[in-house]
A and B are shown apart, each in its own frame.
Chain A
């Protein structure tokens, strides 16, 4: 039975309608954008921006850095409306302590959730289909603590929350998607920057592998194209790449402090390709060096960082 064409919620069905009429929606149909609770269209029509934040002062507060990063583009309330349901997609896939930076820094996660709540978000869900057991990951990465402190809901991945959807990618057609990622008005991608054996780097676009289920291990056979397929499907409102502590060796699992370098950077963009392109620079890569960034540009998912019209630098 094909479940991907069953209507589950209004939000989802609208989303699906949009996906089915993909090119129409992407071309910026005003009519559809009114009904679309998540501004897939809006994200593409507003001018792309890029905020590159650096924590310079010794002992700076991560919360301040996150706050200033959003302030550079008018604060998070520019993107999050009162009453929104926000899904935050960190990378909490590995059962590793935060100092090993295999996962999104819990203080960054906490700061983003608190900003969303201050902007009037009705509900914030932390969503990730983890690689290691979810219970262990939630405990050890600090996600449980963040959820407890902020009151955000940490959604446990499970088979009943996976639903086959049409990805409409060049390589992926129907794939099980972790539905809490879709069931939100706004979606914030909150990856951690790391090196990766096959794709060289794991940044924002690759983080969407953690938003799907099914035979994920098979995606490696065409990793760059599948990353771009997923990135065009999910289209977050914002991407905030956590490059505070960066794994420079042994990625993406790491496991030793020797693998970690302190960069104290945050990169915020509404353009998934630009965010990744700038973050690639931290590792000394040009955007063209990384397959999925190159393909992202090729399929017009976004721009390289240097081409982004609105650029801000923030230091704390």
Chain B
């Protein structure tokens, strides 16, 4: 097969995997047309699940597999794919980066269709540089840190980075804009525009009808734009300089059998190979080819007018096996990896008193294991039907930045819903049935009244909206009727709500529906969560 064919196979493969990634990302939500046949059995709802393999790209990701294994010594189902990628890398080099990685394909696409550099500048940018060692430093930081119990792979892992950026910044951002737009059309005086407003049913499957809110969403979006922008400095800047997964695969690709064969005599130094090189891997015959940097895009062999370059299978020379990482990069990476978990345990909550506002999704493992398993990928946040799961800002300390927390003023944990656990790629949130969730019961916190704000307690009138929505049976919010002093000193007969801590699961619908909006009169704190023995309330 000629190089031209390989380039086309690569393009098709990149397009396919990028589209597949986006498709699975969009499908990471409650399906809109679940039909439960009630005539068979009135209660036969079962557990609503997303049928598509939405965790596929995470299972394909060796960095996710390795860090989870190092951090928590668990082998999570489905990660055979990641091992397959490692084997392929050992045989053929960074094929994953060139053919599969959706984030890499996105950078590739942007670098090619709107190249900021030309001629000499592009040649210079595409030569190997010292900055490419940064990714190895990051890799060693991540691996050592994981081994010592803090898994921060998700901050930089390309699959997690891309998923989080699109799911928590791009889609909610565009979705809110579209909802505003269609709302404007619907309110317009022009009848034609009113009809156009029904166009929202077309975008609904992707964006939903609701306004979404994402804590730190602007920052997630900003980082995404920044990383995209970096392609103006060097093509595929992320892949060359920052990607820890690329570094991991680079480490292995030194053993690759696929080798770039150069013919010095044929070369006319036209530099075409360097100008099209995606990884800054030094394809030109007079330079020293770097298998660890080569993304196997086949651009160099394809573009060479003299056929001076070709890929062959041969055993690599021994001395070239490890990539040029630089001792300082490795040492500084290891130093960071050794210190971060300890600093994280000062800042995070593994040993501290659990903070009240950190409410983990139902079925989350205890905090220490949670920090060693959670990828911060945002899959649970994307899948959550009520928008309650949000990335943390400071609730979980810096070590837990972007891990999930429940913000009850934005949503609530629906009593029968167990979707987040079913999608979590690393099982930081347990996969359970809704019967298990309700009958155990899995508690995520507990609700408490702020009587100064509560309408009945403060004498401002009847309410008990919290009691109405309380989903447990019997209800965890009960009331008794009594007289309270109202405005002007008059006695008022009202129903006064109270929380029964033996029944409250901390679902937060009371907080979400409370008429006191900005800081509700009933609020959920993490105290009482079943995952932490130290955070229980009752004897």
Footprint of B on A, CB under 8 Å? Answer: 3, 6, 8, 95-100, 106-107, 131-136, 139-140, 142, 144-145, 148, 156-161, 163, 196-198, 215, 217-218, 220-223, 249-250, 252-256, 258-259
Contact = CB atoms under 8 A, between A and B. Distances in A.
Contacts of A255: 415, 438, 471-473
Given A161-B186, A198-B464, A252-B468, A97 B473 contact: no
Contacts of B34: 139, 144
A97 B45 contact: yes
B495 A198 contact: yes
A221 B36 contact: no
A159 B209 CA distance: 8
B192 interface: no
B171 interface: no
A167 to B, nearest CB: 19
Contacts of B209: 134, 156-159
Contacts of B417: 95, 136
B463 A140 contact: no
B200 A97 contact: no
A144 B36 contact: yes
Contacts of B385: 133, 135-136
5 contacts: A6-B187, A95-B416, A160-B185, A163-B187, A217-B513
A253 B415 CA distance: 11
A255 B438 CA distance: 10
B37 interface: yes
Contacts of A95: 414-417
Contacts of B43: 97-100
A243 to B, nearest CB: 16
Contact of A197 (B200, B210, B464): B464
A99 B474 contact: no
A249 B474 contact: yes
B514 interface: yes
B39 interface: yes
A197 B478 CA distance: 9
Q: In the complex, which range does the number of interface residues on chain B fall in?
A: 35 or more
A136 B414 contact: yes
Interface in B480-539: 495, 513-515
B464 A218 contact: no
B484 to A, nearest CB: 14
A217 B474 contact: no
A145 B36 CA distance: 6
A8 B194 contact: yes
B30 A250 contact: no
A253 B468 contact: yes
B44 A97 contact: yes
Interface in B12-37: 30-37
Contacts of A134: 209
Most chain-A CB neighbours within 10 Å: which of B185, B438, B473, B474? B473
Contact of B42 (A98, A220, A249): A98
Contact of A160 (B35, B197, B495): B197
B514 A217 contact: yes
B189 A6 contact: yes
Given A140-B416, A222-B461, 12 more contacts: A95-B415, A97-B45, A134-B209, A136-B48, A136-B414, A139-B36, A140-B36, A140-B48, A158-B209, A197-B479, A223-B462, A259-B473
A55 to B, nearest CB: 15
A221 B462 contact: yes
A160 B183 contact: yes
Nearest to A202: B468
A8 to B, nearest CB: 6
Contacts of B75: none
A86 B455 CA distance: 39
B469 interface: yes
Nearest to B39: A107
B535 to A, nearest CB: 25
Contacts of B61: none
Interface in B180-219: 182-183, 185-187, 189, 194, 197, 200, 204, 209-211
Nearest to B209: A158
Given A135-B32, A140-B48, A198 B473 contact: no
B293 interface: no
Nearest to A198: B464
Contact of B36 (A132, A142, A250, A252): A142
A144 B186 contact: no
Contacts of A220: 462-465, 468, 515
B211 A221 contact: no
Contacts of B495: 197-198
A223 B467 CA distance: 14
Among B186, B211, B461, the one with the most A-chain Cβ atoms within 10 Å of its Cβ is: B186
B386 interface: yes
A250 B477 CA distance: 10
B422 interface: no
Nearest to A252: B468
Contacts of A132: 414
A156 B461 contact: no
Contacts of B31: 139
A198 B414 contact: no
Contacts of A160: 179, 182-183, 185-187, 197, 200
B95 to A, nearest CB: 39
Contact of A250 (B415, B455, B474): B474
Contacts of A99: 41-43
B314 interface: no
B71 interface: no
Contacts of B33: 144
Given A144-B35, A156-B209, A159-B183, A218 B467 contact: no
Contacts of A158: 179, 200, 209-210
A118 to B, nearest CB: 19
B454 to A, nearest CB: 12
Contacts of A159: 179, 183, 209, 211
A139 B200 contact: no
A215 B515 contact: yes
A133 B385 CA distance: 7
B322 to A, nearest CB: 51
Nearest to A223: B462
Most A C-beta atoms less than 10 A away, residue of B30, B45, B200, B469: B45
A123 B287 CA distance: 73
B467 to A, nearest CB: 5
B470 interface: yes
A255 B472 CA distance: 6
A136 B434 CA distance: 13
A156 B473 CA distance: 28
